[in-house]
A and B are shown apart, each in its own frame.
Chain A
Amino acid sequence: MPEELKVVGKPLPYQKAPGFVTGKAKFTADRFLKLERTGVLYGRILRSPYPHAMIRSIDTSKAEALPGVKAVITYKDAPSKLLPMECSRPRLILDPHIRYVGDLVAAVAAETPEIAEEALDLIKVDYEILKPVFDPEEAAKPEAPKLWPEGNIVDPGNKPYVIEEGNIEEGFKEADFIIKKEFTTQIQPHMCLEPHAYIAKWEEDKLTVWASTQTPTEIRIGLAEAFSMPSAKVRVISENTGGGSMGSKYLEEHVGVAALLAKKAGRPVKLVLNRYEVAVHRRRYSSKHYIKIGVKKDGTLTALDWKSFWDVGAGGTLVGGSLFGLDVINQYKFLNKHIEFYDVSTNLPTAQPYRSVPYPALNFALESMIDMAAEVIGMDPIEIRLKNAPREGEIVAGKKLSTFPIEECMKRACELINWSDKWMGFGKPYKVEGSKRRAVGVAYTAYSTGHYEETRGPIVNVMVDQDGSVYLITPTQDMGTGSTTTLAQIVAEEFGLDLKEVRVVSEDTSHGLIDLYNARASRELCTGGLAAIAACKDAKRKIAEIAAPKLGVKPEEIEVKEKKVYVKEEPEKAIPLSEVLAGPIPIVGTGKAEPLPTDVNSLDPVVCIADIEVDTKTGELNLLKCAFVLDAGRAINPKIVENQIEGGVLPSVGLALREEFIFDEANLVNLGTNYLDFKLITSADCPEVEAGIVESIDPYGPYGAKGLGEVGTTIPHAAIANAVYNAIGARITSLPITPDKILRALGKV
């Protein structure tokens, strides 16, 4: 872009921040307080103690008779239409088929939470116990207990997701070395800090829902469908959503429960999950990988044979390898490929997308293998990656790759961590002091940049007032990603305004705008930004049409900027916008993003180098520093990009070191259901993250930007695993890397 940008690219403060630092910003549970005397009832849920069962009968009479109880619901009250959830299997709001310990059985709405909880104890349930299955490989077998009529394998046709390219046998024949290994990753629950909260209120046939969610549109349309109502009669208000665990707050059964309770009770119902419920509500898959690669002495990757099983829990869908898995496979130029991914239902809590979805597990396996390949041929780990990564202009997955500055990202990461001083060779620490060993490890990935499902929205409106201030009305939710600010920066730049003259409105679906894909897949900035630009252009076109006769030119020759309307060639001949617009009637422009051309592929190169220390006498693993470099295309707001990197790294570090939800099959108990047991990273454990931003100015993104909200979580754990190998000379192939595993690898246990 030849002109200097005034707002885009500046580290301006986050627009929503004042509300949060004063405590004035409201989250869902902050509404309908006792002192407001709204007549709200409190919902509580009865949950199953069995992993797989059918409800034979359920007697709620005693619960209903308890003074203060206003409604009790079971599967008999639930609508027969499924909640059309996109990121987990559509399901009945309450189902007689129970599929995991903690699954919903019944719900109560009462005057106080205490009474609601007492009522739960009065509900008598007769379960027919069914045989459960917990291992995805077992569950994929035809003889396994069936969780869903379509079968347990979630991929279409109850068959695995298969990719065949070239000839895999030939590929292995060509190889000089063949490496084969198994990897596993653990269940990592989202455990968002703000517990899921919903308030449902019916007014005659209209339903209003206050929800903490990433997907207001999905909830609106989903509830309308389940309750067989027109979607115009469902309104979703989502002021702020907390938690930083991208992927846990979508349309889900609890909002249906709140709506159903409110309908039966005839009063508003507030349902707030407790910590245990949040833990068993949604989580990342666990996975098992059987991976084999062939490599030549010169570093060419001749073959990739990858079979993996992804446990997606009771109601997960394609949240394992099948979602974006292809991008990881394509981050290296394997000459021949055979991929077989099974996403399988099991009798465990439902898996749902969690920040970068399959990337963490895929990269753990693949990046470990690439390091092993490099070691066996005697090549530097950075060199082998640079050799096999694609470049701008090359064909990746049948499409031409847009900007891809992988060399610069590698170089920057090495500088940030001082790689040249610390890289000693595979299995060689750079410092040994007593029992403590320090080493570095590298990982890389190519991340899909958020050009996704553009045809499904968002559709945004840009409203220009007579005084020249602008409103961006968008259905997409900002859950802490800062998208309201970055989108506002884009709009401000388009109109030549200061940031504070642009407001973003997104809390209420009454605006009628939809985003059928919602805030997912890092697309808020990318697809949302393109939509905003389109809406700005539409608004400008409408202003230009009004101004054209006044300026005596054609509308195409007019520009609208800095609250002025002028002819492009003659900026000094400008009329104030306030004169062009007649009275306080705003101009509204509408816009939607155009999809990427079908022959273009847009990816983010991402590099992470981890510097770690292992205490070989206790197995303690300390992350000293982590350099993380990505290509932002253009950093619309560098501080927000840094926050997304620094914040995104933490779940990956958690995955590497300790965060784990455990299901005890012997006793049928969920473990790791609070922050203490599942070991969430505290500020005292947080590593030093050095974020590096490269800007390649992608021609396909808004102002050249690439989407990147989830990128931080894709690879740090892979870099850590590689660093551990370099520190202790033994490879840990199962996450999390606990002291137990390190001590075992060292032969001390």
Chain B
Amino acid sequence: MVLKLFKHYDAKSVEEAVSILGKYKEKAKIIAGGTDLLGALKNKIYPEYPEVLINIKTIPGLSYIKEEAGSLKIGALTSLTEVAESSLVRDKYSALAEAASRVASPQIRNMGTIGGNICQLIRCWYFRAPSIAEGPLKCLRKGGALCYAMAGDNRYHSIFGALEGCVSVNPSDIAPALVALNARIVTNKRTVDAEGFWAVKGPGSTVLDADEIVTEIQVPAPPAGTKSKFLKFALRKSIDFPIVNCASAVTSGGGVVKDARVCLNAVYPIPYRAKKAEDYLKGKSINESTAEEAGEKAVEGAIPLSKNKYKIQIAKTLVERTLLACV
């Protein structure tokens, strides 16, 4: 697997990066940690191999963790290790620290950034098939006509049906934690609620325009009485992407739930907010029975594919367990 040649810029500012992106559009990619991008380039899975890589690690001032004006603010270039080990994040935004600590492997957490993690491409072994014997597979995310997973091996794919015809999954561990914690994603153009950040956009997994990059992630300080939890179910305890993961944030008062945010990921092409579970919990106290019921509600409407029905049971269980941990 060989990295084909490309031009390389060290951007010195967000403006510079954005201006080069604007010029080259789909022919340019930004490189932060490189842990998703370089593997994808070696396997040649993009419909068009980029001509230009723009290094944004050389942009100063994008790596920080601080609390300001009632919000946790994390620079997009902050490494996952730093997010996982930050006592500020661990104490007050525990689901996020837990999620960061479960990403991939220690080396990848040192190299990978939180901005990069939420922008990573979908996981589907057809989409990511290397261009060697039978690849590249031009699935419908790449402008082709076919979704290979529908008739093929979909054991790791979406359990809530297709989004724009695609049944892949978003594999980010950080994403559901951000949705559960009601985070906001700040780019050079706008600020977006975490929930609205992911989308099916060609091969891309976010709403970002071609000349838009994430600069900061903001998490509002949770109201008093809030606990959050993140759980990841994977076949291996390290390196693996999730089969299902789940983050829940529950604000309780007087022994009952005042507000709950429950987000599953790796179950749909974008993070899946379990609103039915959230609505069910309002005003109830969390115990084994209500948590189990919430799990059932969370997977209501699931549309399993031929090989992935088991994921529904796992999703249910993770919702239940994250909620019980928020008591």
On whether A and B touch (CB less than 8 Å), the answer reads: yes
Report if A1 contacts B (CB, 8 A). no
Instruction: List chain A residues, Cβ under 8 A from B152.
Output: 664, 666-667, 669
Q: Is the CB of A667 within 8 A of B148?
A: yes
Q: Is the CB of B314 within 8 A of A671?
A: no
Closest chain-A Cβ to B134's Cβ sits at a distance in Å of 4
Most buried by A among B134, B243, B309: B134
Q: Is the CB of B151 within 8 A of A667?
A: yes
B-side residues, CB < 8 A to A, are 1-2, 4-5, 105, 125-126, 129-130, 132-135, 137, 148, 151-153, 155, 233, 235-241, 243, 307, 309-310, 312-314, 317-318, 320
Report if A48 contacts B (CB, 8 A). yes
Chain B binder among A269-277, A378-386, A511-519: A269-277
Instruction: List chain A residues, Cβ under 8 A from B137.
Output: 667, 669
Give the distance in Å from the alpha carbon of A398 to the alpha carbon of B238 in the complex.
49
Give A666's nearest chain B residue, CB to CB.
B151
Q: Which of A277, A675, A680, A740 contacts B155 (CB 8 A)?
A: A740
Closest chain-A Cβ to B261's Cβ sits at a distance in Å of 22
Give B288's nearest chain A residue, CB to CB.
A434
Instruction: List chain B residues, Cβ under 8 A from A672.
Output: 125
Give the distance in Å from the alpha carbon of A675 to the alpha carbon of B235 in the complex.
12
Q: Count the A residues whose beta carbon is within 8 Å of the partner chain — how many? A: 47
- Jot down 23 A-B pairs with beta carbons below 8 A, ordered by A: A47-B132, A113-B2, A114-B2, A117-B4, A274-B1, A276-B132, A277-B132, A618-B317, A658-B235, A664-B148, A669-B137, A669-B152, A671-B153, A676-B239, A681-B236, A684-B237, A685-B238, A738-B235, A740-B155, A740-B310, A743-B313, A748-B313, A749-B310
Give the distance in Å from the alpha carbon of A669 to the alpha carbon of B148 in the complex.
9
Instruction: List chain B residues, Cβ under 8 A from A667.
Output: 126, 137, 148, 151-152
| In the complex, per-residue mask of A640-674: 1 if CB is within 8 Å of any chain B CB, else 0 | 00000000000000000110001010111111111
Q: Which of A230-287 contact B (CB under 8 A)?
A: 274-277, 280
Known: A102-B134, A113-B2, A620-B233. 16 other contacts (CB 8 A): A48-B133, A101-B134, A274-B130, A276-B130, A276-B132, A277-B132, A618-B233, A662-B153, A671-B125, A676-B239, A680-B236, A683-B238, A685-B237, A739-B235, A740-B307, A749-B310
Q: Is the CB of B314 within 8 A of A618?
A: yes
Q: Is the CB of A101 within 8 A of B4?
A: no
- Tell me how many residue pairs across A and B have CB atoms closer than 8 Å: 107
Report if A679 contacts B (CB, 8 A). yes
Instruction: List chain B residues, Cβ under 8 A from A675.
Output: 239
Instruction: List chain A residues, Cβ under 8 A from B235.
Output: 657-658, 679, 738-739
Q: Is the CB of B126 within 8 A of A275?
A: no
Instruction: List chain A residues, Cβ under 8 A from B4.
Output: 114, 117
Instruction: List chain A residues, Cβ under 8 A from B5.
Output: 114
Report if A68 contacts B (CB, 8 A). no
Give A620's nearest chain B residue, CB to CB.
B233
Give the distance in Å from the alpha carbon of A658 to the alpha carbon of B235 in the complex.
7
Most buried by B among A666, A672, A675: A666
Q: Is the CB of A685 within 8 A of B310?
A: no
Closest chain-B Cβ to A429's Cβ sits at a distance in Å of 19
Report if A321 contacts B (CB, 8 A). no
Give the distance in Å from the alpha carbon of A672 to the alpha carbon of B233 in the complex.
19
| In the complex, per-residue mask of A713-749: 1 if CB is within 8 Å of any chain B CB, else 0 | 0000000000000000000000000111001100011
Instruction: List chain A residues, Cβ under 8 A from B233.
Output: 618, 620
Q: Is the CB of B238 within 8 A of A684?
A: yes
Report if A181 contacts B (CB, 8 A). no
Report if A169 contacts B (CB, 8 A). no
Give B231's nearest chain A residue, CB to CB.
A618
Closest chain-A Cβ to B307's Cβ sits at a distance in Å of 8
Q: Is the CB of A684 within 8 A of B236?
A: yes
Q: Which of B105, B126, B134, B310 contacts A743 (CB 8 A)?
A: B310
Q: Which of A49, A617, A669, A681 contacts B313 (CB 8 A)?
A: A617
Closest chain-B Cβ to A5's Cβ sits at a distance in Å of 42
Give B321's nearest chain A residue, CB to CB.
A617
Give the distance in Å from the alpha carbon of A749 to the alpha carbon of B309 in the complex.
6
5 smallest CB-CB distances across A and B, nearest first, come from A684-B237, A47-B133, A740-B310, A684-B238, A102-B133
Q: Is the CB of A617 within 8 A of B317?
A: yes
Instruction: List chain A residues, Cβ under 8 A from B148.
Output: 664, 667, 669
Report if A619 contacts B (CB, 8 A). yes
Q: Is the CB of A676 within 8 A of B126?
A: no
Report if A420 contacts B (CB, 8 A). no
Q: Is the CB of B313 within 8 A of A618?
A: yes
Closest chain-B Cβ to A482's Cβ sits at a distance in Å of 27
Q: Which of B132, B239, B313 contacts A274 (CB 8 A)?
A: B132
Report if A415 contacts B (CB, 8 A). no
Give the distance in Å from the alpha carbon of A47 to the alpha carbon of B240 in the complex.
28
Closest chain-A Cβ to B14's Cβ sits at a distance in Å of 32
Report if A579 contacts B (CB, 8 A). no
Give A48's nearest chain B residue, CB to CB.
B133
Give the distance in Å from the alpha carbon of A668 to the alpha carbon of B137 in the complex.
11
Most buried by A among B148, B307, B312, B313: B313
